[in-house]
Amino acid sequence: MTAAGANNSKICVLDDDASFVRATGQLLSSVGLPTEQFTDPYAFLDYARTHQPQLAIIDISMPAMNGLEVQTRLRTASPSTRVIVLTARDDSSLRIKAIASGASAFFLKAGSEEELLLRVQSLFSKS
């Protein structure tokens, strides 16, 4: 982890839906987890290169760049960042691709907030 990353231990949330990003950020903040929020995958990757976030929550379906491509680029930009993939579609092939590409977890957006929080807290504390 870089010195910048050591001073900026955050959870990044990336989704093209700004209201979802805000809601997820508020959920994480409600239990004291620091977040940085993004709707643009390019801005997120630029941030990740310099800040090396501990954890990223990434949506699969985005118009500018899909979440699997973001995840692949993130491995180069910030190899130590763990990834949780979120999607609105329950598609087993996407789940397999995300996990095979290194995602630590895969959740449906309509799933349990408590389950997501538990997984985020577990991954964030291990970083």
Domains and CATH numbers, the chain: 3-126 (3.40.50.2300)
Task: Report helix, strand or coil for 79.
Answer: coil
Q: Are 84 and 106 in contact, with CB atoms under 8 Å apart?
A: yes
| Per-residue pLDDT in tens (0 to 9) along the chain, 127 residues | 333 334 457 999 999 999 999 999 999 999 999 999 999 999 999 999 999 999 999 999 999 899 999 999 999 999 999 999 998 888 889 899 999 999 999 999 888 888 889 899 888 876 5
- pLDDT of 110: 81
